[in-house]
Structure 1
Amino acid sequence: MTVPTSLRRDGWEVVPAVRPTWEALMRTDPYALPSQAPAWVDALCATEPYRDCSLQLRSPEGRRLVLPMVRRTGVPASAATRSSMPGRWANGGLIAEDGVHEAADARAVVALLAGSGPLVIVPNPRLDDRWRSAAPWSYATGKHNYEVDTTGGFEEVWKHGFASSVRRAVRKAERSDVVVERDTTGRLLPLFVPLYEESVRRWAEGSGMPAWLAWRRAARLESLDKLQRVARGFGEACATWMAFVEGRPAAAIIVLTNGPNVEYWRGAMSLPLAGPVRANDLLHRLAIEDACTRGGARYSFGISTPGTSLARFKEGFGATAVPYAGYVLERFPVRRATRTTRRLARRSVVAVTSRAHARG
């Protein structure tokens, strides 16, 4: 069974999402994230094998909602997974007029989509409770999103959020010869890609994964074309912050904004250049201050596992963990089996590589 182009059931009306309504809800919903924007879905579908199948809904009370959603291509429609959102494309879920989005709405949406093929919902972390009991989910994958509360202004975050070690790191960067540029035109993105490649190789060395394999995967998932499409789609709402040391790109972060919600999306650095002068700390300090100045409510650092060094790095800026989950509804446990197979394959690659390193 596939989702029809229009549907009326139990007082709900469902049609394909139209851009004017979708964009209007993005402006009025205080919880709407950059990853729920039409520009995000456009970039996703242009760079990966997905098709936009976002839905516009009207509740029995007349409230308007939109579910940004994509469908996997290359497989029969009845078996294609519908995701909001898939994989590394962050969070989806409902957006609604003035943020009116309740658990009953989530239950109604799942009921409308049940039977139309596998369904994945990775909701806004702050709205996880709306989805937790929305369906007899096949399984859920636990996550932790790290966020800095910016509602009190930058001075509050600096004094009471930033750890003393982070403040010292920022001051060190400010005393050094680091030069920072902020760009919203995409001009700096070609300089970001080599930094990202260097970062991927460094992360691969730390995990034991072959560098060539890590970069091959990263190049496919984080291509320059993808970055540029997101930048064009978001315009002024996509900012690249880049630190230069001795005239060379040393570190960079890409930050997306929708209303009060600011998300650190991607980052990369050259450790030999950025590490000694703490350029990365300075970039986040400037981006957080910018979020505060623009009236942001939160600066999201993204997903990390509590207790890891990456989580501790984020906590140094005052970020706290918001637990939530990604939810899957499927008739047969295909996605779970696929995830298990991929995880075991990756472990095998790491184990083989580690043994090779041990032998010299």
Structure 2
Amino acid sequence: MTVPRTVRQEVYDADPDAVVTQSPAWSDALAGRGHRDVSRLYTLPDGRRLVLPLVGRAGLSEESWPYAWGYGGAVVEGGELTVADARLVLDDLRRRPALLRSVVPMPLRGAVWAEAAGADARRVPYTAQVVDLAPGWDELWARGFRRQARNSVRKAERFDLDVRRETGADPDARGLDVFRTLYAQSVDRWAADRGQPLPLARALAARRDRPGQVAAAARALGERCVVWSVLRDGEPVAANVVLHEPGTRHALGWMCAMDTTGIARETLATYLLHSLAIRDACAAGARWFHMGESDAGSGPEHFKRYFGAVAVPYAALRFERLPFSRAEQAARSALGAVSRWRRAS
């Protein structure tokens, strides 16, 4: 039986470490993309309630959440998630009939989930980059940000840039269109960089439909979905999507896109947008700013360090009745082989 929405909201509100992607409103965004709410409610031995936000697809999967839908995992009254609590949830998920069951925990709770998982849980490793906002904006700017970031923001401010902060509640917001345009540019650039056939890259991107995800999140979250966008002389330059419920501890830098023609590098607009988003999160009372996942040693990981982000390793946990992970890995390997062949030919 579906967990009553009022109960989900009560438990979410009672967890000081809840993130907006664990809210009932986030489930609305997924429902708009073909997922069904199958969240689970538990009563712990000490009487506290725990909810695992969960969505399913026709008995094939039950996930918290599907890939690229942010952080799931449990919310619990009082906020203290123990290993025993996580084990209770995983034991229940292990028995569920769906072919694929998974949890993508909030990274700062990842260690609890990892300790609770048994040997049969398939671990998918990630590394998140997280900024500690405890010092406050002034201290972060002066000492948390590296000189490269501060100088780049100052240089960006000298350009005649049209910067806007809009939310999903703004009826005439331009940010979604800016993101859609820049994302399409990025797909073509990634195809060229990887040696992928352009029609294949565009077909895969259409199937994932990241702009559609952002639009669904904006509709569901309203003011809790902030879209930062930059234009120069009317041309899209960069867009950042940040999810945060004011007064909660976690702001999530969810998706971003940038111009591929060189304007973004020239204007340093991405530095400016990340700086504004972090300052905004500080003003809204956030304790942590999550900048998303990046491979260790990669360019994106290096960029995030400029803003004081530190690496937080964690793992998504999956239970599979069929070898989905191996199939996904084989598909990625096949695409990689095609890309290498095209670059060499």
Structure 2 counterpart of 1:174: 157
> Does 1:265 find its partner at 2:254?
yes
Report matched runs for 1:57-76 at 5 Å: 57-73=42-58
> Does 1:133 find its partner at 2:115?
yes
- Distance in 2 (CA, whole Å) between partners of 1:299 and 1:128 is 16
Structure 1 counterpart of 2:83: 103
Q: Aligned partner of 2:38: which letter?
A: C
> Does 1:309 find its partner at 2:299?
yes
Report matched runs for 1:329-344 at 5 Å: 329-330=319-320, 332-344=321-333
Structure 1 counterpart of 2:177: 190
Tell which deviates more after alignment, 138-147 or 303-312. 138-147
CA deviations on 1:21-72 (whole Å, 9 max, x unpaired) are 2123333322212221222222223224x32111122112210111011122
**Structure 1 pair 349–39 and aligned structure 2 pair: CA distance change class (3 A):** farther
Could you list the runs of 5+ residues in structure 2 that have no partner in the other structure? none
Structure 1 counterpart of 2:92: 112
Give 2:337's match in structure 1, choosing from 318, 337, 348. 348
Tell whether the 8 Å contact from 2:152 to 2:268 is kept in structure 1 after alignment: yes
4+ aligned runs moved over 3 Å, structure 1: none
SS at match of 1:57: strand
Q: Aligned partner of 2:277: which letter?
A: A
Structure 1 counterpart of 2:126: 143
SS at match of 1:47: coil
SS at match of 2:68: coil
**Structure 1 pair 104–138 and aligned structure 2 pair: CA distance change class (3 A):** closer
Provide TM-score, normalisation by structure 2: 0.92
Tell whether the 8 Å contact from 1:18 to 1:56 is kept in structure 2 after alignment: no
Report matched runs for 1:291-306 at 5 Å: 291-306=281-296
Could you list the runs of 5+ residues in structure 1 that have no partner in the other structure? 6-15
Give 2:206's match in structure 1, choosing from 219, 239, 250. 219
- Distance in 1 (CA, whole Å) between partners of 2:93 and 2:292 is 28
> Does 1:94 find its partner at 2:94?
no
Structure 2 counterpart of 1:325: 315
TM superposition shift of 1:305: 0.6
- Distance in 2 (CA, whole Å) between partners of 1:349 and 1:194 is 27
Provide TM-score, normalisation by structure 1: 0.88
> Does 1:209 find its partner at 2:192?
no
C-alpha RMSD over aligned residues: 1.7
Tell whether the 8 Å contact from 1:170 to 1:282 is kept in structure 2 after alignment: yes
Tell whether the 8 Å contact from 1:181 to 1:243 is kept in structure 2 after alignment: yes
- Distance in 1 (CA, whole Å) between partners of 2:326 and 2:211 is 32
Q: Aligned partner of 1:51: which letter?
A: R
**Structure 1 pair 251–113 and aligned structure 2 pair: CA distance change class (3 A):** closer
TM superposition shift of 1:321: 0.6
SS at match of 1:82: strand
- Distance in 2 (CA, whole Å) between partners of 1:83 and 1:337 is 18
- Distance in 2 (CA, whole Å) between partners of 1:296 and 1:274 is 28
Tell whether the 8 Å contact from 2:70 to 2:254 is kept in structure 1 after alignment: no
